[in-house]
Amino acid sequence: MRSLKSAAVSGYRRNNMEQDATIVTLTKQELMQLEMIVVDNDKEAALVFLKELRAKIETNTIKGMKSHLDG
């Protein structure tokens, strides 16, 4: 049985992760590509896909940021 402190820390981490969540929308082509990677168990293609996805997330994050000077 976990201690109360351990449960509290686990709950704290879970709540923080929920607040820092990022929603990623995949195109039909990206979804098909992901399915092919999984079916083929293609580790190299998976790494390339994840790098492209990370770049997409970073680009969207930057676009979503607004300066306090923008009004």
Residue 36 lies in a domain: yes
Q: How many Cα atoms sit within 13 Å of 54 on the Cβ side?
A: 6
pLDDT category at 55 given cuts 50, 70, 90 is very high
- As a whole number of angstroms, the distance between CA 41 and CA 39 comes to 6
Q: What's the whole-number mean pLDDT along residues 1-9?
A: 52
- In the chain, the number of structural domains is 1
Residue 12 lies in a domain: no
Higher pLDDT, 2 or 70: 70
Residue 7 lies in a domain: no
Q: Are 2 and 10 in contact (CB under 8 A)?
A: yes
pLDDT category at 48 given cuts 50, 70, 90 is very high
- Domain span at residue 32 reads 23-71
Residue 4 lies in a domain: no
Q: How many Cα atoms sit within 13 Å of 58 on the Cβ side?
A: 6
Phi, psi (5° rounding) for residue 24?
A: -115, 125
Residue 3 lies in a domain: no
Residue 30 lies in a domain: yes
